[in-house]
Amino acid sequence: MAHDSFLPADDIRTLFSESMSRMYQQEVPQYGTLMQLVAEVNEQVLAAEPALQHQLRETGELDRLSLERHGAIRVGRAAELNMLRRIFAIMGMHPVSYYDLSEAGVPVHSTAFRPTDDASLRRNPFRIFTSLLRLELIEDDALRARAAEILDGRDIFTAKARVLVAQAEAQGGLTEEQAQHFVAEVLETFRWHQHATVDLASYQALQDAHRLIADVVCFRGPHINHLTPRTLDIDTVQQQMPAVGITPKAVIEGPPRRRCPILLRQTSFTALEEPVRFAGEQAGTHTARFGEIEQRGMALTPKGRALYDELLNRSRQTPAEADNEAHQRRLAEVFADFPDDEDSLRTLKLGYFRYGLTEAGRRQAEREESASGDIDTLIEAGLIKATPIIYEDFLPVSAAGIFQSNLGGVQHQAYVQNANQAAFEQALGCPVQDEFALYAALQDDSIRQVRQVLDA
């Protein structure tokens, strides 16, 4: 079959993220309310900042502004994770980074499936933060065996989804019609199931070991547990959530508000208690699903990330602040040590930048005069400009904060056994990509391109 009769992976991802959003807004009406609030606040920001509006229009981001940027699921077995890798690959989403959450008392390790090249990120950066339960962290032998047995008895994928995945792999893509079927079948895996697969007593035993274990083990599938639209002003949305009847988690995770935003700030409304039918028709409830928002800034180099981690640790040395305003004030004080102007961030090599021609640079290139000097000289000469590369990944401390506030806020101690990237990759069926290498490649490519055009 001719290659051009296939729907591009980017378009399949968009079909998927849009279908998922529709499904989740129906399943969790509060999420629809959050989406509305986010869209309203984004409108207000754009009205107040015409320059930002102009910039977002130029970069083609205005249309998809308030739409989902990521979601998250948790699976129980290696084979489930492995199949997800194949499914997400068809949508142009590949595993980037390894996150060890056991350190924060959550018995999972994770990756983010996301587009990795510039053009695809621009089309639709939708990602799925995907966690694999670490059964070996369940201490009680009998309970661990029972959990494994329950998980072995389920298939979270439809038979048709399996057929379509095999077909996509064999053909090298899917036609539009096949892609529509594929997305509909894959969506089934993320659907909420009101009927648990176990009785109330089994649920309770798993819940007592860790709420997350019960969430992963007791249902037919790994229901999408949140979706996350992009906000232009996370502080305002956090503040306004109660007014629209939704309860925000206590604090915004990540760095404080800054002139030059770095990495990722995120917050959520706390997970809902939802009615569940257990085996034997016993009634009960389960708390897992929520809505989140995110605001992204510049990707940091390993040096910048080390400084971020150091300052974040410093801010956590005293007991947590009860409210977000106090938390943000403390963060801002500590992060005064993190340079907050683009020039310093770039020249100190704390952040990644994309280099492009200025108007003057373009004119010079047209005249076919060659320029000389290193990047800094070319910037000083006004021929090229640097713009921050946006962070596309996640932060383990923030992720742990999101997990925790949606697991009833109970803090668990760190597990003694920790990171096991090799076991994760074995389950996944391939290595995860290194996020720093991806950002460095984007930066280096942009440098190579301007140099070539300027003949510098």
For the bound state, the minimum distance from the C-beta of residue 60 to Ni ion, rounded and expressed in Å, comes to 24
The answer to whether 402 contacts ligand OOG (rule: CB under 6 A) is yes
Site string for ligand OOG, 144-183 (x = CB under 6 A): ----------------------------------------
The answer to whether 34 contacts ligand OOG (rule: CB under 6 A) is no
Place of tokens 């409210």: 323
The answer to whether 399 contacts ligand OOG (rule: CB under 6 A) is yes
Contacting residue, 25, 66, 398, 443, with ligand OOG by CB under 6 A:
398
Q: Which is nearer to ligand OOG, 290 or 353 (CB)?
A: 290
Site string for ligand OOG, 279-298 (x = CB under 6 A): -------------x------
Choose the binding region for ligand OOG from 1-9, 200-208, 231-239, 397-405 (rule: CB under 6 A).
Answer: 397-405
Q: 31 and 24 in contact (C-beta within 8 Å)?
A: yes
**Cβ atoms < 10 Å from Cβ of 64:** 19
The answer to whether 133 contacts ligand OOG (rule: CB under 6 A) is no
Place of tokens 């996370």: 234
Among 452, 17, 4, 34, smallest CA distance to 240 is for 34
Q: Which is nearer to ligand OOG, 232 or 399 (CB)?
A: 399
Angle between helices 359-366 and 435-454 (to 10 degrees): 50
Tokens of 413: 């101690």
d(CA 102, CA 418): 6
The answer to whether 389 contacts ligand OOG (rule: CB under 6 A) is no
Tokens of 89: 């690959």
Place of tokens 């998250």: 72
| Residue-by-residue DSSP string for 325-382 | HHHHHHHHHHGGGS--SHHHHHHTT-B-EEEEE-HHHHHHHHTTPPP-S-HHHHHHTT
E strand or H helix that includes residue 172: none
Considering only residues 67 through 96, tell me which ones interact with ligand OOG, judged by CB under 6 A.
72, 74
The answer to whether 131 contacts ligand OOG (rule: CB under 6 A) is yes
Query: Total binding residues for ligand OOG by CB under 6 A?
Result: 13
Tokens of 423: 């076991």
* Binder of residue 102, out of Ni ion, ligand OOG, none (CB less than 5 to 8 A by kind): none
For the bound state, the minimum distance from the C-beta of residue 71 to Ni ion, rounded and expressed in Å, comes to 7
Q: Which residues bind ligand OOG (CB under 6 A)?
A: 72, 74, 129, 131, 225, 266, 292, 394, 398-399, 402-403, 406
